[in-house]
Structure 1
């Protein structure tokens, strides 16, 4: 933790976040009961007490911004000054924010941070401030795990950079305030666009130092990132030196535990394969249905929808609609899981049973579990698939079709 009395933190929250999917801009979406922006402001304020926080927002987002600030504690809210309005680009938005900070105060250090990075911790902020004091301009960076290729316009490799010398850059990027303000003004005067504030400092002739970043400080960009964020909030960590398991992010944030059940049945028809859990299994028949007739996935989808009281598959994908004829059932399950995540929740566990005399499910069990886990964006350890017969009784015993049952456990914020 650092003394923030000579520090301003500029949080950039003017983007639309279209890659995160439909809905509100990502910085205003709820993550375990609080907006992403509120979580980011809390993290910044806790890491640098005394620092002044200013948020750059889109002109259309004043009400959303006010709702996020209202979620803060009184102490955190007191550190947040009036927001600045963003421009047509991120670069213009940051400059607007810097100019607003300059009109209100003259900090020694400014940290420029993305609103969609809610997991910056005190150690990272301390490194950022120390690096800015020592070097004038600094950014957090993490090593690359994959080999990087440079390609030409035709898609052919022209170079393979040494990844040991490469870093993926994060925020907060930290600067001596007069340095970055002058650099931004120069870039605007020259009508040059840059992808981050470090490039603007570089263009003004300043050396930029890279200090160690944090893999946990990832940016929320896609729906998968929101799922990862929920797992990160939920995951307990060991408090340094304590030896005790402590949730250092948020305690008991997903306390509303829901259970839903699903059941489906499909008759056999002519064909040579059946789909179960997104896996094609060779068989003497196929299953009849309006979509691909994946009886297992249909049962799981209804179980997930039931857990959040959102009806059933037919309510979302009517069989009377010709666009769903022959559709992959993956579409249905992905949609149900997306609804859970849109409410800040997570799929905690799936337990499903297939009832049939044939085909044998056992040899394909792990492939089915892996397929379902990938579709739902969960760990395979959260997916159980079992199989049984009906002892030759009923329609399944007569080999006329397959039935499936599923139970979904979902965790939501209160």
Structure 2
């Protein structure tokens, strides 16, 4: 008996607006997932199987340039065709495009499911030997409520009979093409191809899906997909920022420096407590985040920050890192002054900075030097500080 031939239609004509945008208006299927475009990953998953004879991507007319930039090339990969105004129309266009290849079976796959596995694909293909159609599915684990008006619960469904459908959905080619052509004439919205097959009276069976075979729909799905690909660990990127600050002396009896108060013959002049070291560190973290500087977050024109302890600013910057799912790797600050002498106070400064940022002391470096009596610091007119911050954030486009 001759081997059955199989074509794959990868539906990639959507605009992907619910997933947000990156790199301007780049649709989700062209965004990168761990360095590779989502659509490229999906195409590669099917070309990896020798049992697949033809793969045809269905793309949006406005995305031709995005598709060309992927550089996809394979003997079994057909040129992309243009989709329609709806998913249903795009699938029909794909079915008609592979007609010249006369496939026995066809698999219909969402481009936004790049984590589909060989086991899922082969399970669907095997089921077509005895059924008109097949789709991978996973049991519903949540309790499902029915509410016709979206506010009042009228029933609780038996979740033991409910399953979440995935793709690829497979069919015998002549039957699904006929069903799609007839469905196209109806004023009815079919949510997937199995629904059209069911309407046409075809026998559709369930095959084993996988909870990892997610569809990228919302922005957070990119993070979820990366966790799956990296074994549960979100892919991170390193960011580095720098900070610089200067404050002059004025009459006083102590300076705030590195989060501690040091007795001195003068104090530093500023709207807050003028802790030049913490200001430089705060700006370094803001820089690594791409979040401006202290003046934007705590304007000196705002009277509420008059005399404020600078740890508030550093706490805010560290909080922004945490809020974005990141962490501070290390902080490094160099203080330049002739007086007061800094060396004996370095351990206390490291403890204070580490406590504010929730770090171990080994991740905080405080160094001090003089300017060899040169410049305003050499004339003991003030203190300057330079800082750097290294942070890790979830990878972004």
* Partner residue, 1:350: 328
Distance 1:110 1:206 in 2: 15
C-alpha spacing 1:84/1:263, structure 2 compared with 1 (3 Å): same
Matched, 1:260 2:240: yes
Consecutive unaligned residues in structure 1, runs of 5 or more:
238-253, 266-286, 289-294, 306-311, 338-345, 369-383, 390-403
Please give the residue correspondences for 1:264-343 in structure 2 after superposition, counting only pairs within 5 Å.
300-305=285-290, 312-314=291-293, 333=320
Distance 1:4 1:313 in 2: 63
Q: CA RMSD in A?
A: 4.6
* Partner residue, 1:308: none
* Partner residue, 1:80: 77
Matched, 1:62 2:64: yes
* Partner residue, 1:170: 166
Decide which structure has the larger Cα Rg and report it.
2
1:132 CA displacement:
2.2
C-alpha spacing 1:357/1:26, structure 2 compared with 1 (3 Å): closer
1:9 CA displacement:
0.3
Query: Matched residue of 2:128: which SS?
Result: helix
* Partner residue, 1:283: none
- 1:112-134 CA-partner distances (Å, limit 9, x unpaired): 00111111111111001012222
In the alignment, is the contact (CA less than 8 A) between 2:5 and 2:103 conserved in 1?
Answer: yes
Query: Matched residue of 2:392: which SS?
Result: strand
In the superposition, the TM-score normalised over structure 2's length comes to 0.65
In the alignment, is the contact (CA less than 8 A) between 1:4 and 1:49 conserved in 2?
Answer: no
In the alignment, is the contact (CA less than 8 A) between 2:244 and 2:283 conserved in 1?
Answer: yes
* Partner residue, 1:228: 224
In the alignment, is the contact (CA less than 8 A) between 2:12 and 2:111 conserved in 1?
Answer: yes
Query: Of 46, 49, 70, which residue of structure 1 is paired with 2:48?
Result: 46
In the superposition, the TM-score normalised over structure 1's length comes to 0.63
In the alignment, is the contact (CA less than 8 A) between 2:128 and 2:170 conserved in 1?
Answer: yes
Q: Which structure 1 residue ranges, 4+ long, deviate > 6 Å from structure 2?
A: 262-265, 295-299, 317-320, 355-362
1:357 CA displacement:
12
Distance 2:87 2:64 in 1: 18
In the alignment, is the contact (CA less than 8 A) between 2:56 and 2:79 conserved in 1?
Answer: yes
1:190 CA displacement:
2.5
Distance 1:81 1:208 in 2: 27
Distance 1:30 1:139 in 2: 27
* Partner residue, 2:390: 407
Distance 1:127 1:101 in 2: 22
In the alignment, is the contact (CA less than 8 A) between 1:5 and 1:51 conserved in 2?
Answer: no
Consecutive unaligned residues in structure 2, runs of 5 or more:
246-271, 274-279, 305-315, 332-347, 365-386
1:230 CA displacement:
2.1
C-alpha spacing 1:302/1:155, structure 2 compared with 1 (3 Å): same
Distance 2:185 2:167 in 1: 25
Comparing 195-204 and 206-215, the one that deviates more? 206-215
1:157 CA displacement:
0.8
1:8 CA displacement:
0.1
Please give the residue correspondences for 1:83-232 in structure 2 after superposition, counting only pairs within 5 Å.
83-102=80-99, 104-153=100-149, 155-232=151-228
In the alignment, is the contact (CA less than 8 A) between 1:47 and 1:121 conserved in 2?
Answer: no
1:22 CA displacement:
2.2
Number of residues of Structure 1 aligned to a counterpart in Structure 2:
314
In the alignment, is the contact (CA less than 8 A) between 2:289 and 2:321 conserved in 1?
Answer: no
